[in-house]
A and B are shown apart, each in its own frame.
Chain A
Amino acid sequence: MNILGISAFYHDSAATLICDGEIIAAAQEERFTRIKHDHNFPLNAVKYCLAEGGVGKTELDAVVFYDKPITKFARIMETYFSVAPKGIRSFMMAMPLWLREKLWIPMDIEKSLLKCGIDMPKEIYFPEHHESHAASAFFPSPFESAAVLTVDGVGEWTTSSIAHGRGNKLEMLSDMHFPHSLGLLYSAFTYFTGFRVNSGEYKLMGLAPYGDPVYVDVIKDKLLDIRDDGSFRMNMDYFGYLDGLVMTNKKFADLFGGPARDAESDVTKREMDIAKSIQVVTEEIVLSMARYAKEITGENNLCLAGGVALNCVANGRILQEKIFDNVWIQPAAGDAGGALGAALAIWHIVKNGPRTSDNINDKVSGSYLGPEFMAADIKEYLDEKGYSYEKMPVENRGAIIAKILDEQNVVGHFAGRMEFGPRALGNRSIIGDARSPKMQSIMNLKIKYRESFRPFAPSCLEESVSDFFELDEPSPYMLLVAPVKKSRCIESKVKRDAAEMKEWINEARSDVPAITHVDYSARVQTVSPKTNKLYYDIIKAFEELTGLGIIINTSFNVRGEPIVCTPEDAYRCFMRTEMDYLVLGDYLLEKTKQPEWKEEGDWRGEFALD
Chain B
Amino acid sequence: MFTCYSIKRCPQIVLQVPLKELDMIFFKHLGNLLKEFAGFAWKNKVWWIVPMVLVLLLLALLIVTGQTAAPFIYTLF
Contact = CB atoms under 8 A, between A and B. Distances in A.
Interface of A: 10-11, 32, 39, 43-44, 47-48, 51-52, 70-71, 74, 76-77, 90, 93-100, 103-104, 106-107, 110-111, 114-116, 153-154, 184, 187, 197-198, 241, 245, 247, 371-374, 377-378, 381, 566-568
B73 to A, nearest CB: 5
B13 A114 contact: no
Closest 4 CB pairs of A and B: A99-B60, A107-B29, A94-B77, A96-B70
Nearest to B22: A111
Contacts of A74: 40, 44, 46, 49
Contact of B74 (A44, A48, A198): A198
A115 B25 CA distance: 14
Nearest to A373: B5
A377 B3 contact: yes
Given A95-B56, A107-B25, A198 B75 contact: yes
7 contacts: A70-B36, A70-B40, A90-B77, A114-B17, A198-B74, A241-B76, A568-B7
B75 A568 contact: no
A572 B39 CA distance: 51
B77 A99 contact: no
Contacts of B14: 115
Contact of A197 (B4, B13, B64, B74): B74
Contact of B13 (A10, A116, A371, A381): A116
A100 B5 contact: no
Which range holds the interface residue count of chain B?
A: 35 or more
Given A115-B15, A374-B1, 10 more contacts: A70-B40, A71-B40, A74-B49, A107-B25, A111-B15, A114-B15, A245-B74, A372-B1, A378-B5, A568-B6
Contacts of B49: 74, 77
A71 B76 CA distance: 13
Interface string B1-31: 1111111100001111100001001100100
B26 to A, nearest CB: 7
A554 B38 CA distance: 50
A93 B71 contact: yes
Contacts of A93: 70-71, 73, 77
B25 A245 contact: no
A372 B2 contact: yes
Given A76-B77, A377-B3, A381-B5, A100 B40 contact: no
Interface of B: 1-8, 13-17, 22, 25-26, 29, 32-33, 36-37, 40, 44, 46, 49, 52, 56-57, 59-60, 63-64, 67, 70-71, 73-77
A567 B5 contact: yes
B40 A184 contact: no
A106 B32 contact: yes
A32 B10 CA distance: 11
A97 B8 CA distance: 30
Interface of B is mostly: loop
A310 to B, nearest CB: 16
A71 B63 CA distance: 24
A241 B74 contact: yes
Contacts of B60: 96, 99-100
A554 B55 CA distance: 50
A378 B5 CA distance: 8
A454 B71 CA distance: 30
Contact of B76 (A99, A114, A116, A184): A184
B70 A11 contact: no
Most A Cβ at <10 Å: residue of B57, B67, B73: B73
A388 B25 CA distance: 51
A100 B61 CA distance: 10
A365 B66 CA distance: 46
A10 B75 contact: yes
B45 to A, nearest CB: 12
Contacts of A90: 73, 77
Contacts of A245: 73-74
Contacts of A373: 2-3, 5
Contacts of A184: 76
Contacts of A114: 15, 17
A339 B33 CA distance: 22
A181 to B, nearest CB: 9
Nearest to B61: A99
B44 to A, nearest CB: 7
A149 B8 CA distance: 42
Contacts of B16: 115
A154 B7 contact: no
Nearest to A247: B74
B15 A51 contact: no
B76 A153 contact: yes
B13 to A, nearest CB: 5
A106 to B, nearest CB: 6
A88 to B, nearest CB: 13
A338 to B, nearest CB: 13
Contact of B57 (A10, A97, A99, A568): A99
A11 B13 contact: no
Nearest to B75: A10
A95 B63 CA distance: 11
Nearest to A116: B13
